[in-house]
Amino acid sequence: MNKFAKQPKLLKKHPNAFQVEWKDGHVSWYPYVYLRQMCPCAECAIIRHKGRDVHSLFAPQGDGDITLIEVSDDIQPLDIQLVGRYALQFSWNDGHDTGIYPFEALRETCPCPECAPLYEKPLIQTEEEN
């Protein structure tokens, strides 16, 4: 992955998804349910790994079974903050705000049909595909 693939050019909040346009031209759409389930905080990583403490392992982001994170369909970010130049922090309307999402991890977990097969099979069809 070249460095432009990890640098966002545009960040945009949509009603049901967060859009990131990357400097290499790729556009990612992250449905909020998916983003919340992928929360990279230690607490969520442990839930996705059925109680196993994986925080010290390499790249817990996106690992485990994301369906183990219970998320309501109306999940929305109340606030999205830049953390330095490398990450985003989402404050969700379920009260959870400890997840810091590095851009590199976001790009690696892009759920689009082009990227998803690189790490696992597509989880979600983006709105663009419909």
Up-side HSE of residue 68: CA atoms within 13 Å toward CB? 14
CB of residue 106 to Zn ion, shortest distance in Å: 10
Closer by beta carbon to Zn ion, 68 or else 115 = 115
CB of residue 13 to Zn ion, shortest distance in Å: 18
Residues at the contact surface with Zn ion, assessed by CB under 5 A: 39, 41, 44, 99, 110, 112, 115
CB of residue 105 to Zn ion, shortest distance in Å: 13
CB of residue 90 to Zn ion, shortest distance in Å: 9
DSSP letters spanning 33-73: HHHHHT--SHHHHHHHTTT---TTSS--TT-S-GGGS---T
The gap from C-alpha 95 to its chain's centroid, in whole angstroms, comes to 17
Residues 6+ away with beta carbon under 8 Å from 34: 66, 111, 123, 124
Closer by beta carbon to Zn ion, 71 or else 112 = 112
